[in-house]
Amino acid sequence: MNAINELPPARLNAEIDRVFGLQQRRKLELRDTTAEQRLEKLRRLRAAVMAHKEDILAAAHSDMRKPRVDALLGEIMPVTQAIDLALKQLKRWMRPQRVKTPVNMLGTRGEIRYEPKGAALIIAPWNVPVFLSFVPLASAVAAGCTAIIKPSEMTPALGAVIRTIVADVFDEAEVAVFEGGPEVAQALLSRPFDHIFYTGNPEIGKVVMRAAAEHLASVTLELGGKSPVIIDESADVEAAAERLVWGKLLNGGQVCVAPDYVLVHESRREALLGALDRQFKAHAGAEAGQLPELTRIVNTRHHARVQALLDDALSRGARVVTGGQSDADACFIAPTVLTDVPPDAKLMQEEIFGPLLPVLGFQDLNRALELINEKPKPLALYAFSRIKANVERILRGTSAGGTTINHVMLHGLHPNLPFGGVNNSGIGKSGGFYGFQAFSNERAVLRQTSRISFTRWMMPPYSPRLSRLMDRFVR
């Protein structure tokens, strides 16, 4: 059985214990798997994802009205790209890494071996559930781990496809899927997993981290936050607007690295607002009464949440530049640009995760950096500038999980860059080698290769000569 739906607590816990026990035994066997054995599993996973491509696209449309391109770009492409990279690089990743031998370690040889951490739990979110189930799974398989996946209950159609794909490829003793609501996640978190990979919001991230602490399990937390955009006086405003609109329309703005608010130099503010208005109308049809083919907000609860952010900002004096239309029955809010948003508005305090984009002006770059640094460290930060010194000031004057210059979100699609947050926006990195590393223990191995060890001369009683010699080593 690879999925659990609405079981009573006793049966749920018994089924989790059964599958977890199977995986506890299998994880010991997986330590000895070769690169080729792991690669064959990754090939089968890739083939199954492609075989179910149309099912994924249909489920994404059913759950969130995702257009085909959104689902291909946001759900399927990251999975195939991650697996393709592992297929090319896994043998190199698994190879023991020699380290240099310092003078006081002469006669030894050191290396780092990557061994699987063991049993992994992957808790996936609702915004891109296929991506954030199968990319971590590919890393876990590459590292030689077992895995249990808990997809979000908010996207049931996609959860069912995830379950089907896993059942097609893996025995439940190696990979299993448990569907259901928070009670299923809580039951899973009570088990002593070796590593937990969670994607979601910071508040639930704290719950996951507390649960992991009970078993001293390692964690990868991808948490999001308010990702700022800085547009200075030298930026190409038209290009910036076009790229911001792309980033805000993708998945209806429900992406953890979507631009969350814009800080634009006052000399370019009106030009940017005009460009954003034109770009949104050109690409989203954001006119009164229109419901363009855009990804919808996932459910009525989240629609009400985003609507409340918009209403609060307007009640505090914010002004709509473009958009603002809403249809609660269709879980639709038009892509909306706002300006004159006061800093105490909820829109400027909470992660939006929707198609709203506040734009604020600044006169001095240092003040813009202060505004960013007053908030928790973001998952992403974006800067549009033609002045290298300004870009360097932004990079040195802020901290973020990742940054794209003169575009948005693309660093998260680069297969050879680490992806993840810092502090409030996340812990640990994923993607490519960094994902393999997250599910691996870097085991230090030292071999004494000489018959004579330096420790022979370090035995008590300590002579004055040895004391002088150690003083020299310390200096």
- Asked whether 291 and 330 are in contact (CB, 8 A), the reply is yes
Give yes or no: residues 431 and 351 share one domain: no
**5 contacts 179 by C-beta, under 8 angstroms:** yes
Residue 430 lies in domain: 9-223+426-443
pLDDT at 293: 77
The predicted pLDDT at position 359 comes to: 98
pLDDT tens, position by position, 96-138: 999 999 988 889 999 999 999 999 999 999 999 999 999 999 9
Per-residue pLDDT, 290: 56
DSSP 166-201: HHHH--TTTEEE---SHHHHHHHHTS--SEEEEES-
Residues 412 and 346 reside in one and the same domain:
yes
pLDDT at 452: 82
Q: Which of 172, 174, 222, 242 is catalytic?
A: 222
| Marked catalytic residue, from 75, 172, 179, 256 | 256
Is residue 180 in some structural domain? yes
CB-based contacts of 291, cutoff 8 Å, min separation 6: 327, 330, 332
Of 381, 401, 418, which residue sits at a domain end? 418
Q: Say if residue 291 is in the same domain as residue 435.
A: no
Cis peptide before 461 (omega within 30 of 0): yes
Instruction: Let me know whether 138 and 242 are in one domain.
Output: no
Number of domains in the chain: 2
Q: pTM of this prediction?
A: 0.94
* Inside any domain, residue 454: no
| 327 and 350 part of one domain | yes
Sign of the Cα torsion 401, 423, 442, 120 reads: negative
Q: Are residues 219 and 264 in the same domain?
A: no
User: Could you tell me which of 114, 106, 179 has the C-alpha nearest to residue 142?
Assistant: 114
Which pLDDT score, from 0 to 100, does residue 224 have? 87
Locate all alpha helices (DSSP H) within 34-128, ordered by sequence: 35-51, 53-64, 68-71, 77-94
For residue 122, give the DSSP letter: E
Distance (Å, rounded) from C-alpha 277 to C-alpha 320?
10
For strands 146-150 and 175-177, give the pairing.
parallel
Instruction: Give yes or no: residues 266 and 205 share one domain.
Output: no
Is residue 413 one of the residues assigned to a domain?
yes
Inside any domain, residue 43: yes
CATH classification of the domain holding 439: 3.40.605.10
Residues 194-224: tens digit of each pLDDT: 999 999 999 999 999 999 999 999 999 999 8
Beta bridge partners of 119: 146
CB hemisphere CA count around 318 (13 angstroms): 28
- Say whether both 207 and 279 belong to one domain: no
Active site residue 222: yes
Q: Quick one: 332 and 377 in the same domain?
A: yes
**Looking at residue 2, what is its pLDDT?**
44
Cα three-residue angle 197-396-229, rounded to 5 degrees: 70
Is residue 241 within 8 Å of 286, Cβ to Cβ? no
Cβ neighbours around 436 below 10 Å, total: 24
256 has catalytic annotation: yes
Q: What are the pLDDT digits (tens) for 132-181?
A: 999 999 999 999 999 999 999 999 999 999 999 999 999 999 999 999 99
Strands 97-99 and 108-116, sheet pairing: antiparallel
Residues 379 and 264 reside in one and the same domain: yes
Same domain flag for 364 and 343: yes
Which pLDDT score is estimated for 6? 63
> Low-confidence residues of the chain, pLDDT below 50?
1-3, 288-289
| Residue-level pLDDT at 291 | 58
Query: How far apart are alpha carbons 287 and 355 in whole angstroms?
Result: 14
